[in-house]
Amino acid sequence: MARSLQYCTFWVDGLFFGVEVSGVQEVLRYQPLTVVPSAPEAVQGLINLRGQIVTALDLRCRLGLPPRPEDALPMNVIVRSRGEVVSLLVDDIGDVITVDTSPGGLEIEPTPANVPSTVQDVVSGVLALPDAILLVLDADRAADVSVVPQPTGGTP
């Protein structure tokens, strides 16, 4: 039986990522953000997704990549992670690609060891497509942003 997986693809700082479509709720253009002061750095803000409040995480920041140019507006990849909906801010959206994963087809390979650890951290493996290398994103790990204790700025 032929097995195949579909990936929703996107670019972050020139890197080509894919996340399984079953975990993706939708893709949205830039949405106005409400900043959350003292939140972890990767949290860019909150968006109003038809009445639901969704945390927007900047993948560039999460991956330890340089910040997006000021004039470039990010796109939202809305993914489901552990019962919550999270928006991943990416540079640009690619196609949905179908990968044949049946025996003889493509296999997810371990991430090459020389990829920066910040990227490895959120990638579950790579798919060597004929024309590109797709980094398979683990949405749960990408959405995990530990809270860095913030200076409260208070006096004694």
Partner 1 sequence: MDDDAEIIAEFLVESHENLDQLDRDLVDLERDPGSRELLSSIFRTIHTIKGTSGFLAFNRLEALTHVGENLLSRLRDGQMEMTGPVTESLLSMVDTVRALLESVEASGNDTAAAVDVDTVVNTLRQVLEGAEGPSPAAEEPAEDRARPDAAEPTPVVEASAEPVSDPVEEPEEALVEPAREDDVDEVADHAAGGVVAEVGDAGLVEAAELDAGEPERVHPKLGEILVERGIVSSADIEEALAEQSAADQGDDTARRGVVDSSVRVDVDLLDSLVQLVGELVLTRNQVLQRTESQDDIELVRAAQRLDLVASELQEGIMKTRMQPIGQVWSKMPRVVRDLAVQLGREVDLQMEGHDTELDRSLLEALKGPLTHLVRNALDHGIETPADRTAAGKSAQGRLLLRSFHESGQVVIEISDDGKGIDPDVIARVAIERGVITRDQAARMETREIVNLIFRPGFSTAAEVTNVSGRGVGMDVVRTNIERIGGTVDMQSQVGVGTTCRVRIPLTLAIIPALVIGEGEETYAIPQANLVELVRLEAEDMTRNVEEVAGAPVLRLRGHLLPLVSMAEVLGRTRPEADALTVVVVQADDMRFGICVDKVHDTQEIVVKPIGRQLKLLPTYAGATIMGDGRVALILDVPGIAHAHAIAQQSAAASRPADGVVAGAADSTALLVLEVGGQRAALPLREVSRLEEFTLDRIEKSGNAEAVQYRDGILPLVRLAGAIGLVERVRDDDQVSVVVHESGATRIGIVIDRVLDVVDAAVVRSDVGRRAGVLGSAVIGDRVTDLVDLDAVVALSGVGA
**Which residues lie near partner 1 (CB under 8 A)?**
32, 34-40, 42-43, 45-48, 50-55, 57, 82, 84, 86, 143-145, 147, 150-156
Q: Is 93 exposed, middle or buried, given 0-12, 13-18 or 19+ CB atoms closer than 10 A?
A: middle
**Four-point Cα dihedral 114, 115, 120, 125, nearest 10:** -90
CB of 141 to partner 1, least distance (A): 13
Return the number of the residue (78 or 134) whose C-beta is nearest partner 1.
78
Return the number of the residue (112 or 154) whose C-beta is nearest partner 1.
154
Return the number of the residue (130 or 151) whose C-beta is nearest partner 1.
151
Tokens 């890197």 sit on residue: 15
Strand-pair category, 123-128 with 4-12: unpaired
- Helix, strand and coil content of the chain, in percent to the nearest 5, comes to 10, 45, 45
Query: How many residues can be counted in the chain?
Result: 156
CB of 57 to partner 1, least distance (A): 7
Tokens 């994963």 sit on residue: 101
C-alpha–C-alpha distance, residues 98 and 64, integer Å = 29
Return the number of the residue (114 or 146) whose C-beta is nearest partner 1.
146
Return the number of the residue (63 or 86) whose C-beta is nearest partner 1.
86
CB of 25 to partner 1, least distance (A): 14
CB of 138 to partner 1, least distance (A): 16
- What's the gap between Cα 134 and its chain centre? 13
